A and B are shown apart, each in its own frame.
Chain A
């Protein structure tokens, strides 16, 4: 099968031609004569893309993911033949329709409809060919009477609608979509994804997005760029989970190791105190043998330990220990009833250990939540919550292999969670 898109060891640098810049030339001559030190960075190569290679066949779909500034858009510009690779080879066969930025190729003063004509002509369509498509384009964009309004009055969502609508109706062989659908409303996004899926029957798609779910659902393969380098390239679920794991590690980093800034675990904890007499301290995550740990694999046993203090006798305490994701959404929670059933009021200090055996969590980073409340009065007394990740799941153990598909809920049933008290020191 012929390769529609080929990228072989592609490098791209935006300051590859410092000689071309008069300013640098003048600087250079100035330095020659004044004998001063060379200004740093004047001619240093920085690669926006660093040795990127991949191939695509017809009807292939490639997702490009990576952090901001990783080189995704630069790669897209190369594929759209807007700029050339500094080193390496790029070959694209077929008519490319690209959605590189909102309102690209639109003239702000012209109306939506006039811009449809303009855009179609940019893509090489004759007036007659355009006229036969205009109806479809306008219909798909669903802009109503706004189609006759100057584009400068459009919202970003409207621009995305019009841009996408033109792009898919140009009948291209390759379509490049660079993170423009995100501004569309939900209904339009669904419609766009359906249109892309339909297009994939006959054409090739390069899809850049931070919506990893959409990338995984749409693309067969994913290219993960990190500072211009290929960090991962392969089947979508694999690369995406690698990417997510790495990202989560970065999010977890400030809580894990703080070299200079005092962003230790205690600093990233949000406490809400409703009753001054209650306290939660020394929250730790440990492995099955009780060693403090912050990295777990799927199906490991995770133990959350903490100590609870009460300076005055308190009845009907209810303790909830939960695992939360980075957005502070509870993923797994365990609540005890033993304390509640305890006939006496609790005072002093106790160690609490909550065991989550066989944790079925996606490879991401998580925090811990400890909530103390009065079970009878349904009153919160004290909550303790990580605002940064405390531990992360690195991936599944080799056996058994678990496959997760993102559309499913994050909520995971964890059977057999047990919570017990190690010791209760009755205080005065």
Chain B
């Protein structure tokens, strides 16, 4: 424990910062963050009979539905890539984004007990959601890997570049998560609105269909959706082997960084309201 005592000073609804900024404070609590994530993961499936098997089953189930619908009923042309392979990769990557955004809306409201009684850096709540979703992603990627192996599909040489898309996706999701976590505490309506928006985004982004199937004339507007560039990059780097949309990805990345920084600021400004509003 540090020898210097922390000082809490507040005047007229404002916190008077002393010495350490937000990040320094968050770092001081790193042991808690580590424990918090471990605990969220430990508790997650504790009461279920099948435990972590659910983490495997969940992405498989939704992929299976899309496979049945889009390769037998409505045919989606994915070129040389087998559709099941295409879909499981995209669904796993979509779930990552979807989980962070959807769960962040409840990250504040579902932890009332902690927020109203204990002081700790509040950003750990959305960050914890992010870490939890990353675990799901890791499991999903292992599943995807085995599907790749099953089809004897060798990813193209530029596959490692997908890391950039993943980075952009994470930053974007986290930025949105900070905004939503803070705003949902104030405007509860977002709890209902956000799943609807996510549903729309799911169909507006190239998740269940390849980017190449989008008509060229809508392309300009289509890339206004930041997820388009991310999923286009995934498809290009991991499946098709030509990274055509890297410029769009860079643009989206810049947007995501701005979103994350401003989202964090907004979150820190509003965090004092949480305990009072809930």
Residues of A within 8 A of B (CB): 14, 16-17, 20-22, 77-78, 80-96, 98, 100-101, 103-105, 107, 109-110, 114, 117-118, 121-122, 124-127, 129-130, 171, 173
Within 54-99 of B, Cβ neighbours of A (below 8 Å) are at none
Residues of A within 8 A of B15 (CB): 84
Residues of A within 8 A of B115 (CB): 82
Once bound together, how far apart are the Cα atoms of A253 and B186, in whole Å? 43
Once bound together, how far apart are the Cα atoms of A105 and B124, in whole Å? 14
Residue in A closest to B118 when the chains form the complex, CB atoms? A105
Contacting pair A84 B13 (CB below 8 A): yes
Given the interface contacts A104-B118, A114-B39, A125-B1, does A87 sit within 8 Å of B7 by beta carbon?
A: no
Once bound together, how far apart are the Cα atoms of A173 and B12, in whole Å? 25
Across the interface, B43 reaches (CB within 8 A) one of A94, A101, A107, A130, namely A107
B272: Cβ under 8 A from any A Cβ: yes
How many inter-chain contacts with C-beta < 8 Å in the A-B complex?
Answer: 122
Once bound together, how far apart are the Cα atoms of A10 and B276, in whole Å? 16
Once bound together, how far apart are the Cα atoms of A141 and B270, in whole Å? 37
Given the interface contacts A20-B273, A82-B118, does A94 sit within 8 Å of B31 by beta carbon?
A: no
Across the interface, A122 reaches (CB within 8 A) one of B12, B34, B120, B186, namely B120
Contacting pair A84 B117 (CB below 8 A): no
Contacting pair B43 A77 (CB below 8 A): no
Besides A95-B6, A98-B117, A110-B43, 15 new A-B residue pairs in contact (Cβ under 8 A), listed by A number: A20-B277, A22-B187, A77-B116, A81-B10, A86-B13, A90-B9, A92-B8, A93-B5, A95-B1, A96-B119, A98-B119, A105-B113, A107-B39, A109-B43, A121-B31
Residues of B within 8 A of A85 (CB): 10-13
Residue in A closest to B35 when the chains form the complex, CB atoms? A121
Contacting pair B276 A21 (CB below 8 A): no
Residues of A within 8 A of B7 (CB): 91-93
Given the interface contacts A81-B8, A124-B32, does A110 sit within 8 Å of B39 by beta carbon?
A: yes
Interface centre among B15, B43, B118 (most CB of A within 10 A): B118
Across the interface, A88 reaches (CB within 8 A) one of B5, B11, B36, namely B11
Residues of A within 8 A of B272 (CB): 83-84
Across the interface, B1 reaches (CB within 8 A) one of A22, A114, A124, namely A124
B47: Cβ under 8 A from any A Cβ: yes
Against A, the Cβ 8 Å flags (1 = close, 0 = not) of B122-159 are 00000000000000000000000000000000000000
Residues of A within 8 A of B114 (CB): 104-105
Residue in A closest to B115 when the chains form the complex, CB atoms? A82
Pick 9 A–B contacts, CB within 8 A, sort by A: A22-B187, A81-B119, A82-B117, A82-B118, A88-B11, A89-B10, A89-B11, A105-B114, A125-B1
Residues of B within 8 A of A (CB): 1, 5-15, 28-29, 31-32, 34-36, 39, 42-43, 46-47, 113-120, 186-187, 189, 272-273, 275-277
Contacting pair A84 B46 (CB below 8 A): no
Contacting pair B8 A77 (CB below 8 A): no
Contacting pair A101 B47 (CB below 8 A): no
CB distance from A250 to the nearest CB of B (A): 30
Residue in B closest to A104 when the chains form the complex, CB atoms? B117
Once bound together, how far apart are the Cα atoms of A104 and B112, in whole Å? 10
Given the interface contacts A82-B117, A100-B117, does A124 sit within 8 Å of B28 by beta carbon?
A: yes
Residues of B within 8 A of A80 (CB): 119
Residue in A closest to B9 when the chains form the complex, CB atoms? A91
Residues of A within 8 A of B117 (CB): 82, 98, 100-101, 104-105
Contacting pair B120 A129 (CB below 8 A): no
CB distance from B32 to the nearest CB of A (A): 4
Interface centre among B15, B46, B114 (most CB of A within 10 A): B114
Once bound together, how far apart are the Cα atoms of A129 and B32, in whole Å? 12
Residue in A closest to B185 when the chains form the complex, CB atoms? A20
CB distance from A54 to the nearest CB of B (A): 15
Given the interface contacts A127-B31, A129-B1, does A91 sit within 8 Å of B8 by beta carbon?
A: yes
Residues of B within 8 A of A82 (CB): 115-119, 275
CB distance from A106 to the nearest CB of B (A): 8
Residues of B within 8 A of A107 (CB): 39, 43
Residue in B closest to A79 when the chains form the complex, CB atoms? B8
Given the interface contacts A92-B8, A105-B117, A109-B43, does A84 sit within 8 Å of B35 by beta carbon?
A: no
CB distance from A189 to the nearest CB of B (A): 21
Contacting pair A125 B31 (CB below 8 A): yes
Contacting pair B275 A22 (CB below 8 A): no
Residues of B within 8 A of A110 (CB): 39, 42-43
Residue in A closest to B272 when the chains form the complex, CB atoms? A84
Residues of A within 8 A of B119 (CB): 80-82, 96, 98
Given the interface contacts A84-B14, A124-B31, does A21 sit within 8 Å of B9 by beta carbon?
A: no
Residues of A within 8 A of B186 (CB): 20-22
Residues of A within 8 A of B31 (CB): 121, 124-127, 130
Across the interface, B13 reaches (CB within 8 A) one of A87, A103, A104, A109, namely A87
Residues of A within 8 A of B12 (CB): 85-89
Interface centre among B29, B36, B119, B277 (most CB of A within 10 A): B119
Residues of B within 8 A of A121 (CB): 29, 31-32, 34-36
Once bound together, how far apart are the Cα atoms of A379 and B67, in whole Å? 91
Residues of A within 8 A of B118 (CB): 82, 98, 100, 104-105, 122
Contacting pair B9 A83 (CB below 8 A): no
Given the interface contacts A80-B119, A86-B13, A87-B13, does A171 sit within 8 Å of B5 by beta carbon?
A: no
Q: Rank and list the top 6 A-B pairs by shortest CB-CB distance, nearest first.
A: A104-B117, A121-B32, A81-B8, A105-B118, A121-B35, A94-B5
